[in-house]
Amino acid sequence: MASSTRNGEAHEDEIRLWREDGWWVAEDVETGVTTQGETREDALANLDDAVSLHEGDAGREPTPEELRELGVDPADNETADDEPPDVLD
């Protein structure tokens, strides 16, 4: 099990992963959130997205610490006054 932080509290992550009717199914035990995918990787990626939505973390701006962990300089993460591209309208 991996250790992580949710809502400012440390906890152990437990994920169940199994095959069902030709699909991979992934469940986050703590939240009960369950997803599926054609591959294990797809099921786990879908679970990451679903748990983020469940926890209210989806769509939030990353913290400077999270950016640094990914090798991004927070100063380079500025949009300034630029308008979003037309495709996002």
Residue 86 lies in a domain: no
Alpha-carbon distance of 26 to 33, in angstroms, equals 8
> Domain range holding 23?
2-76
Query: Model pTM?
Result: 0.54
Q: CATH number of the domain at 66, please.
A: 3.30.160
Q: How many domains does the chain have?
A: 1
Q: Is residue 89 part of a domain?
A: no
Residue 25 domain-assigned (yes or no): yes
Helices (H), 7-89: 40-55, 64-69
Contact of 23 with 38, CB cutoff 8 Å: yes
| Residue-by-residue pLDDT tens, the chain, 89 positions | 444 555 555 556 799 999 999 999 999 999 999 999 999 999 999 999 999 888 877 667 788 898 889 888 888 766 666 777 777 66
